[in-house]
Amino acid sequence: MEILSNLALGFGVALSPFNLLMCLVGVLLGTLIGVLPGVGPVATIAMLLPITFNLNPIAALIMLAGIYYGAQYGGSTTAILVNLPGESSSVVTCLDGYQMARQGRAGPALATAALGSFFAGCVATLIVAMFAPPLAEVALKFGPSEYFSLMVLGLVAAVVLAHGSLIKAIAMVILGLMLGLVGTDVNSGVLRFAFGIAELADGIGFVTVAMGMFGLAEIIANLEHKGTREVFTSKVKHLWPTKEDFKRIWAPVLRGTFLGSALGILPGGGALLASFGAYTLEKKVSKNSAEFGKGAIEGVAAPESANNAGAQTSFIPLLTLGIPSNAVMALMIGAMMIQGIAPGPQVMTERPQLFWGMIASMWLGNLMLVVLNLPLIGLWIKLLTVPYRILYPSILVFMCIGVFSLSNNPFDCVLMAAFGLLGYICVKLECEPAPLILGFILGPLMEENLRRAMLLSRGDPLVFFQKPISATFLVVSIILLVIIALPNIRKKREEVFVEET
């Protein structure tokens, strides 16, 4: 078997003491910055790039990749413990993870996230090893019309995220879409909704919105109840998931892994949808769907597996086509080029040691992360016993430093405060922030691809139905929309009924 000899070669490279050390340094650093809100892997990798110049290419890339998936692990920790999504992928983890933490089940939530991520990482690494080149071909099949239809599907799915009013959820998605349009229009270069503020020309940053809507709003809302001083219950039941928990999570982890692996391959924003998609899927198929949003363990297991799987498979377009699927991957390209390696299909044939070494190190890195993170859970739980009056100013300091560091400009703090206010108002009006965030992420992509598809087809809207992949997505969206709408309409009727009698 060729694959076995390739993997043997890879592990030979990755298991050398120095590369192992670099992998460990990477995942440690990644975990640290993942846990600290605001300072993301992009900034960290960028600042570390000059240090990697003195390393050999393999060690450098192993370390940088370690930072990337280490940050994913760390990011879910903060999402679960204090409701702060530092990455778009951990937004959905907040929904149920944080609720679990408040109920004294932070331990099982963190363990589920770690185990689910580890499993997903193993499977996805195997997929990268076995199918990278053919899957890269699939990635190229996705053009503007396919991406647009995928985004439509994603938005329909976003509505399922909400557990309250359907109309409010749709409205929040659209509000998010519109906020995503602030800044320079990709197609025409026109500055939109910037109101003469130069800082808005490049749009509003995701981190600023997420920190404001989730983090700040949550802190303010927690501080308003005079009676209940502590946010987290002091009765921590157990650190480890129970047998019942394991029974509930294995299927969501599997589904999340496969959905995440599939979406991660698409460089034009597929991975963004992975965790959202997995959550939606679980909410629809689960027996416990009523618990979602109130601390369902499936709501942590599925998106965490999905986003880690997506993080691994997003290396496929990078390694085989030289096309980055996100900002971190773009940095990896920079790192490779500076090392004199041109990313692209020839990496696999010309530098098999690098290619297979990196794949092997991904698996090792995931193993290190799970070994590292499981014992840490006890420590994190301790953190929640710190009185809230100590905890929240600390969270604020980390948030402010992180947001300020985005562009070294006070304006980002202003924006975060503005979104904190909006988030607080939304809490009061029972409008949920998660659909808004998804709309915000997808809005610009959706408009961009729609207009590009129309330009390329010279204005023929039928392209969306003529291309098989695109047509499939649209049909599925319509079906999904009907499924979502039906029980709601029925419920509404009942409500009306109740009122009349």
Partner 1 sequence: MVIKSPKDFWAGVMFIAFGAGMAAIALTNYQMGSAVRMGPAYFPTVLGGILAALGLILFMRSLVLKGGKVPAFSFRPLLLILFAVLLFGYTLKPLGLLGATLLLVFVSAYGGHEFKWKEVAILYVALFIFSVVVFVKGLTLPFPICPAPLEDFCRF
Partner 2 sequence: MRGLRIGQRLAAAALLALATLPAHGQAWPAKPVRVVVPYPPGGPVDISARLLAPKLQEALGQPFVVENKPGAGGNIGADFVAKSAPDGYTIGMGAIATHAINPALMANVPYDPIKDFRHLALVVQVPNVLIVNTELPVKSVPELIAYAKARPGRLDFASGSTGSTGHLAGELFKQMTGTFMVHIPYKGAPAAVADLLAGRVHLMFDNLSSALPNVKSGHVRALAVTTLKRSASLPDLPTLDESGLKGFDMTTWWGLMGPAGMSPDVVQRLSAAILNGMDAPDVKERLRAMGMEGSAVRTPEQFTAFVDAERRLYAKLVKQSGAKPD
Give the footprint of partner 1 on this chain (CB under 8 A).
32-33, 36, 39, 43-44, 47, 165, 167-168, 170-171, 174-175, 177-178, 181, 185, 187-188, 190, 192-193, 216, 219-220, 223-224, 226, 229, 388-390, 392-394, 396-397, 399-401, 404-405, 408, 410-414, 416-417, 420-421, 424-425, 428-431, 447, 450-451, 454-455, 458-459, 461, 495-496, 499
Q: Which of 285, 397, 455, 485 binds partner 2 (CB under 8 A)?
A: 455
Q: Which two tokens stand for residue 422?
A: 């909006």
Binding status of residue 301 toward partner 2 by CB under 8 A: no
Q: Which of 12, 199, 289, 471 binds partner 2 (CB under 8 A)?
A: 199
- In the complex, what is the shortest distance from the CB of residue 188 to partner 2, in angstroms, rounded to a whole number? 5
Element (H, E) at 293: none
- Using the minimum distance from each CB to partner 1, give the nearer residue, 36 or 370: 36
Check residue 227 and report its DSSP letter: S
Binding status of residue 323 toward partner 2 by CB under 8 A: yes
CA dist., res. 476 & res. 457, Å (int):
23
Partner touching 140 among partner 1, partner 2, none, CB below 5 to 8 Å by kind: partner 2
- In the complex, what is the shortest distance from the CB of residue 50 to partner 2, in angstroms, rounded to a whole number? 4
CA dist., res. 202 & res. 146, Å (int):
26
- DSSP three-state, residue 183: strand
* Contact status, residue 348 vs residue 93, Cβ threshold 8 Å: no
Binding status of residue 189 toward partner 2 by CB under 8 A: yes
Check residue 192 and report its DSSP letter: E
What is the length of the chain? 501
The number of residues that bind partner 2 (CB under 8 A) is: 55
Binding status of residue 334 toward partner 2 by CB under 8 A: yes
Q: Which residues, 6+ apart, have CB-to-CB distance to 46 below 8 Å?
A: 331
Q: Which two tokens stand for residue 54?
A: 């003195």
Segment interacting with partner 2 (CB under 8 A) among 108-116, 284-292, 294-302, 401-409: 401-409
Q: Which of 187, 233, 385, 466 binds partner 2 (CB under 8 A)?
A: 187
Element (H, E) at 281: helix 270-285
Binding status of residue 333 toward partner 2 by CB under 8 A: yes
Measuring CA to CA, which residue among 109, 379, 108, 104 is closest to residue 237?
Answer: 104
Residues 230-269 that bind partner 2 (CB under 8 A): 267-268
* Contact status, residue 315 vs residue 282, Cβ threshold 8 Å: no
Measuring CA to CA, which residue among 248, 268, 208 is closest to residue 115?
Answer: 248
Residues 66-125 that bind partner 2 (CB under 8 A): none
Burial class (CB in 10 A: 0-12, 13-18, 19+), 176: buried
Partner touching 298 among partner 1, partner 2, none, CB below 5 to 8 Å by kind: none
Partner touching 294 among partner 2, partner 1, none, CB below 5 to 8 Å by kind: none
Element (H, E) at 184: strand 183-184
Q: Which residues, 6+ apart, have CB-to-CB distance to 278 below 8 Å?
A: 92, 252, 255, 256, 259, 260, 302, 303, 305, 306, 307
CA dist., res. 98 & res. 105, Å (int):
9
* Residues at the site binding partner 2, with contacts judged by CB under 8 A: 42-43, 45-47, 49-50, 53, 139-141, 143-144, 184-191, 196, 198-199, 201-202, 267-268, 317, 321-324, 327, 330-331, 333-334, 337-340, 342-346, 407-409, 444, 448, 452, 455-456
